[in-house]
Amino acid sequence: MRSQNAGVWAGLIILIFGGLMFVQSLSYQYSSKLGPGPGMFPLWLSGILIVFSFLYIIRSIRKERITFAEILPKGKDSKQLLKVLTALVGFILIVPFIGFIMAGIIFLFILLSGEYRWYINLLISIGVTILLFWVFHGLLSVPLPVNNFGF
């Protein structure tokens, strides 16, 4: 069985991302009467990202051969990664329905499960979520999803 080169796949993903950002940056104005426009930095940064991803793909083909088995976590670490990904997907799915605070508490509670006693975990989850909501929604006026009760 032929092993896959994870470096080439990572380089391809970064190349696709850089290409999409490059195309998107073309829709912005490159310069304005005051100097650089909103499209200058995204254009240059995505162009540099494309060049570096090509260099990384070439390096991965020629020298470094990294297999997926080498980089993927094993044992307890793989369970931890699965827990984080599951909690993140769950947060994304439920936040529009139950609001940022409730979804954030559930998300942090799942992430911290097994690390602290359940009541300490719950206090940390509630405190951190309310603090983040206050900073972003209250102080910085960032619109965050809320439920029918306003939180």
Burial of 75 (0-12, 13-18, 19+ CB in 10 A): exposed
On whether residue 151 sits in a domain, the answer given is: no
Among the three residues 52, 71, 90, which one is the final residue of a domain in this structure?
71
Mean pLDDT by groups of 10 residues along the chain of 151 residues: 74 95 93 86 95 92 76 84 92 93 94 91 96 93 84 69
Supply the range of the domain harboring residue 21. 6-71
Could you tell me if residue 144 is inside a domain?
A: no
Tokens of 55: 């260099």
Helix (H) or strand (E) holding 36: strand 35-36
147 lies in a domain?
no
Q: How many domains does the chain have?
A: 2
* Whole-structure pTM value: 0.62
Closest among 40, 47, 39 to 19, alpha carbons compared: 47
Of 75, 73, 132, nearest in space to 103 by CA: 132
Phi (first) and psi of residue 93, to 5 degrees: -75, -35
- The reported pLDDT for the residue numbered 37 is 86
- Scored b (16 or more CB within 10 A) or e, 83-115 reads eeeebeeebeeebeebbbbbbbbbbbbbbbeee
Look at the block and give the residue holding tokens 């972003």.
136
Place of tokens 């983040």: 132
What's residue 8's pLDDT? 87
Q: Which residue has the tokens 């951190």?
A: 128
Tokens of 19: 């290409």
Residues 47 and 89 in one domain: no
Helix (H) or strand (E) run with residue 31 in it: strand 31-32
Tell which of 49, 71, 93 closes a domain. 71
CA atoms within 13 A on the CB side of 67: 5
At residue 67, the pLDDT reads 72
Q: How far apart are CA 115 and CA 121, in angstroms?
A: 8
pLDDT of residue 1: 40
